[in-house]
Structure 1
């Protein structure tokens, strides 16, 4: 028996039709909580000063002598986790980019966290409230000349969640 195109179309629709009725839909609910970042205060909001003093002998500046601990405090509230980062933001010395530049182009400040060199602009992980031990030491350009006189360096200390 010959089949017409119309009959074939009706047969296909009859087979496919019931599958269209088998569809279903459900509601999807997504929830979450947006939290405010933790409120942290470094050093009571006061500037951290590291005075190397007025008696640095230029021949003794070698990245070892004159190493000082940097006392600081961090107080945080409302943090969802104790996993945090400490970063020192600043400009690197031209002769040693991991050290902080100073107003004397041949002198920089190398920093340490827990006894390990801490390159500037690099995050150091810690678990609040235990703070890493920070140290600073002057370093000089590896050449005989180092101008005498006062120097200073500035940077920003940043604490944030990991």
Structure 2
């Protein structure tokens, strides 16, 4: 009898477990993870004016005028420690990671300090977090000749956090 009673109780417990499981329902979880909210350069375009002193003969030697660009960044929340700068723009070719201009054989090369900043690649930035300092210099593609005259180029500045 003792064994039968234990079997009845086990069956009752199993029925209760099955009953509880039968009444279960799914829980849907929707989460939107946000990063820090930041504004670059107060939302204004960044213009680089190389002036009238760009000589076509200096462009292949890397001695063209180098302009410093200050990009102010304001974040409303705490941002992570690892910041990455990304300059997005049109390249001459996939292997030539400099900004294409409207003038044939002329590009804009970007730098962080003395280090080259390749176009369309995330680059770790170790400088101050509220002010990105980069520089730009016009250069010819290799030793190709650049005809005198005005030029334009367009790029987008993006900042990534990790």
TM-score (normalizing by structure 2) = 0.72
Cα RMSD after superposing both structures = 3.3
Q: 1:100 to 1:35 in 2, by over 3 A?
A: same
Indicate if the aligned counterparts of 1:95 and 1:141 stay in contact, CA closer than 8 A.
no
Deviation, 1:33, is: 6.6
Indicate if the aligned counterparts of 2:109 and 2:137 stay in contact, CA closer than 8 A.
yes
Indicate if the aligned counterparts of 2:86 and 2:122 stay in contact, CA closer than 8 A.
yes
CA distance in 2, matches of 1:159, 1:134: 13
What is the aligned residue count? 145
Deviation, 1:131, is: 4.4
Residue 36 (structure 2) aligned to one of 35, 38, 48: 38
User: Who wins on radius of gyration, i.e. which is larger?
Assistant: 1
TM-score (normalizing by structure 1) = 0.72
Deviation, 1:83, is: 2.0
CA distance in 2, matches of 1:161, 1:68: 26
Residues 8-48 of structure 1 show CA distances to partners (whole Å, capped at 9, x for unaligned) of xxxxxxxxxxxxx8xx9xxxxxx997432221111111000
Q: Which runs of 5+ in 1 are unaligned?
A: 1-20, 25-30
